[in-house]
Chains A and B, each alone.
Chain A
Amino acid sequence: MNKLFALIVFIILGHFSFGQNVYFTRNGHIYFISETDAIDIDANNNQVASFLDITSGKLQFAVLIKSFEFKLATAKEHFNESYMESEKYPKATFKGEIIGIGNINLKNIGTYPVIVKGELTLRGITKIIEVSGEITVTDGEINAKSEFNIPISDYNISVPSLVEHRVAKQIIVKVDMIYLPYNK
């Protein structure tokens, strides 16, 4: 009887303590902009899915190329068909971790500057990137933000010479995620 009681206590404790380590969002926000003298072209995606493990510092993102929305007419068509080839490579992913997660405790409320390193896969090409960001822990939710540049040449994105002056060589990317505890 005693053992059974202990077993139940452990199971409950086990779920409680481990359940809170993994955070998740399905509507994270990624914004990017291509800035040139000729034109600024930007896009938003509010359907970014991501996991964050606050003890191991592991982070993973996945996003569909087709769900980026543009304001500029015809930009979405060019982005999907010409540059990202979304029919062939429908998603972009990032797998990485927070460097030095041992030095911070994301269970405590506060704001923490972080460096995240990992593999960014676009158009089937994987590159290691290292970006800086900021994690803000509040009661019950975690906000992670980052801004970084992606050189389009890293991912073999070729721009036709006629419109070369309209597409930036470096794309500025802003990531803004609000994670909640993951409940399976």
Chain B
Amino acid sequence: MRLSIKYLFLFFIIISISLPIFGQDDDWDLLLDKELASNKIIETATFKSSRILNGQSVELLPKMGLDFRVAHRFAEFNSTDNNFLGFDEASTYFGLYYGITNQINIGIARATYNQTNYGFVKYAFLRQSSGARNIPITMVLNASVSYTSKEYSDKKRDEDFVSRFDYTYQLLIARKFSERISFQITPTLVHRNLVETEDEPNDLYALGIGGRFLITKHIAFNAEYYWVINDASRYGYNFYDPLALGFDIQIGSHVFQLMLTNAAAMTENKFLGETSSDFFNGDIRFGFNLSQVFTLGKTKTKIKDE
């Protein structure tokens, strides 16, 4: 009998050793937190819209998302004495962007600036992620083509179909540092099949720098600058680097982007290659982008068993 009491005692000791291993509440807190730390999370909303201001951002529409975009750039405030701060003239842009998948977006647009027809494909091949896979940046390729349909007075020039095409290739590299702060750098190559003068290169290199600061949940301040490296300004031509400062205002699925910029055009090939206003000389214009995002098809997901 004495022996069995001893064994019973031993049994309790073993139980008390074993128990803590199998999940006391405190352990569960820690263990669950550890599990959550390995959740796969893809960072979203690096920017509020698919354009920072003038140029493309790393933001993509989700699958079946449709973005209807209307944009205007008015004349410079100082352009003439009687043009109501530039509002009498406007360069306009209508676009439709669409999410084929969460990684691939396409878009088409028409801009009044030189009657430009524009199309692009954006492919997000790396997404900023945390948890199971830690990826510090998002990388997106953007390739766009632009067809200038304006009429040229020179008949030979007018009939040269191929000369009307420009191509832009961009690598968009961005990081959302916090909920408030995001940055993007954008190495860019613009190839123009025909340029106006011999001094202008067919291949234009540029580097974009952009960022946002979220002021409130629905209002962000954005800034975007493109350094156009080899434009003909070094030969005395009036070409300037495009700069834009503005705000994103988000109301539901609308984003209003209001900005001050020196660029009149809204497609990469034109605002990089043909901006002739000097921001720092006060040649500043008001501009806006309106974006309305729709979701085609059902907004609901299908749930398995019901």
Is B119 at the interface (CB under 8 A from chain A)?
no
Is A123 at the interface (CB under 8 A from chain B)?
no
Is B273 at the interface (CB under 8 A from chain A)?
no
How far apart are the CA atoms of A77 and B218 in the complex, in Å? 10
B303 touches A76 (CB 8 A): no
B294 touches A91 (CB 8 A): no
A82 touches B299 (CB 8 A): no
1/0 per residue, CB under 8 A from A, across B270-301: the answer is 00000000000000000000000111001111
Is B135 at the interface (CB under 8 A from chain A)?
no
A: which residues have CB within 8 A of B?
3, 6-7, 10-11, 14-15, 18-19, 21-22, 26, 31, 33, 39-44, 47, 49-51, 53, 58, 60-64, 66-67, 70-77, 80-82, 87, 91, 93, 95, 162-163, 166, 174, 176, 182, 184
Contact of A67 among B14, B41, B48 (CB under 8 A): B41
B94–chain A nearest beta-carbon distance, Å: 19
**Count of inter-chain pairs, beta carbons less than 8 A:** 123
How far apart are the CA atoms of A81 and B32 in the complex, in Å? 24
A162 touches B35 (CB 8 A): no
A82 touches B217 (CB 8 A): yes
Task: Please provide the chain B residues from 242 to 293 with a CB less than 8 Å away from any CB of chain A in the complex.
Answer: 251-253, 293
How far apart are the CA atoms of A11 and B303 in the complex, in Å? 45
B32 touches A60 (CB 8 A): yes
How far apart are the CA atoms of A107 and B45 in the complex, in Å? 46
Chain B residue numbers with a CB within 8 Å of A82 are: 217-218
Interface size class of B (residues with CB under 8 A): 35 or more
B178 touches A51 (CB 8 A): no
* Closest chain A residue to B62, Cβ basis: A73
**Known pairs A18-B22, A166-B252; A71 contacts B298 (CB<8 A):** yes
How far apart are the CA atoms of A43 and B302 in the complex, in Å? 10
Is B7 at the interface (CB under 8 A from chain A)?
yes
Chain B residue numbers with a CB within 8 Å of A19 are: 22
A80 touches B45 (CB 8 A): yes
A42 touches B217 (CB 8 A): no
**Known pairs A11-B14, A71-B62; A47 contacts B25 (CB<8 A):** no
Is B10 at the interface (CB under 8 A from chain A)?
yes
Is B208 at the interface (CB under 8 A from chain A)?
no
Chain B residue numbers with a CB within 8 Å of A51 are: 23, 28, 31-32
Chain A to chain B contacts (Cβ below 8 Å), 6 pairs: A26-B38, A33-B300, A49-B32, A50-B32, A51-B23, A51-B28
Query: Besides the contacts A51-B23, A64-B36, A80-B45, what 17 more A-B pairs have beta carbons closer than 8 Å?
Result: A18-B19, A18-B21, A18-B22, A26-B35, A41-B300, A42-B300, A47-B40, A60-B28, A66-B39, A73-B65, A73-B294, A81-B217, A82-B217, A91-B33, A95-B25, A166-B252, A176-B305
A184 touches B301 (CB 8 A): no
Chain B residue numbers with a CB within 8 Å of A63 are: 36
B: which residues have CB within 8 A of A?
7, 10-11, 14-15, 17-19, 21-23, 25, 28-29, 31-33, 35-36, 38-41, 44-45, 48, 61-62, 64-65, 99, 178-179, 217-218, 251-253, 293-295, 298-301, 303, 305
A15 touches B18 (CB 8 A): yes
B187–chain A nearest beta-carbon distance, Å: 27
B5–chain A nearest beta-carbon distance, Å: 13
Chain A residue numbers with a CB within 8 Å of B99 are: 73
Chain B residue numbers with a CB within 8 Å of A3 are: 10
**Known pairs A10-B11, A76-B44; A162 contacts B251 (CB<8 A):** yes
B23 touches A22 (CB 8 A): yes
Chain B residue numbers with a CB within 8 Å of A40 are: 299-300
Contact of B22 among A7, A21, A174 (CB under 8 A): A21
B65–chain A nearest beta-carbon distance, Å: 4
Contact of A74 among B32, B36, B293 (CB under 8 A): B293
How far apart are the CA atoms of A73 and B217 in the complex, in Å? 17
* Closest chain B residue to A15, Cβ basis: B18
How far apart are the CA atoms of A23 and B243 in the complex, in Å? 58
Chain B residue numbers with a CB within 8 Å of A44 are: 301, 303
A66 touches B41 (CB 8 A): yes
A87 touches B179 (CB 8 A): yes
Contact of B295 among A50, A72, A80, A95 (CB under 8 A): A72
